[in-house]
Amino acid sequence: MQPTPDPVPSSPAGGEADPLAADPGGKRAPASQTLSRGIRILEILREAGEPLSIDDVARRLGVHRSVAYRLLRTLEDHGLVGRTEAGRIELGARLAALAAGVAQDLQSEALPELTAVANELGMTCFLVVLDRDECVTLSSVEPRHAVASVAQRPGSRHPVGRGAPGKAVLSLLPRSQWPEAVTEQTEREVREGLARGFMISHDEVIPNLHAVAVPLPLRGRAPAAIAVVSLADQRPAADLASRLRAAAGAIRAALGG
CA distance linking residue 57 with residue 78, whole number of Å:
18
**Cα–Cα distance measured from residue 129 to residue 145, given in angstroms and rounded to the nearest whole number:** 27
DSSP string across 18-49: -TTSBPTTSSBPPS-HHHHHHHHHHHHHHHH-
pLDDT of residue 167: 94
**Domains with residue ranges and CATH for the chain:** 1-100 (1.10.10.10), 102-254 (3.30.450.40)
State residue 32's pLDDT score: 86
Predicted local distance difference test score (pLDDT) of residue 17: 45
In whole angstroms, how far apart are CA 14 and each of 8, 11, 33, 113?
12, 5, 22, 56
What is the chain's pLDDT, residue by residue, as a tens digit (257 residues)?
Answer: 444 444 444 444 444 444 444 444 445 666 788 888 998 898 898 888 889 999 999 999 999 999 999 999 999 998 889 999 899 999 888 877 776 666 677 888 889 999 999 999 989 999 999 988 888 888 889 888 765 566 667 778 888 888 999 999 999 999 989 988 888 999 999 999 999 999 999 888 777 788 999 999 988 888 999 999 887 767 899 999 999 999 999 999 988 76
pLDDT at 103: 65
pTM of the model: 0.67
**Segment 155-214, tens digit of pLDDT:** 788 888 889 999 999 999 999 899 888 889 999 999 999 999 999 998 887 777 889 999
**Cα angle, residue 44 at apex, residues 42 and 45 outer, rounded to 5°:** 65
pLDDT at 4: 47
- What is the C-alpha separation between 166 and 190, in angstroms, rounded? 10
What are the CA-CA distances from residue 17 to residues 9, 21, 159 (Å)? 6, 8, 33
Q: What is the largest CA-CA distance in the chain?
A: 67
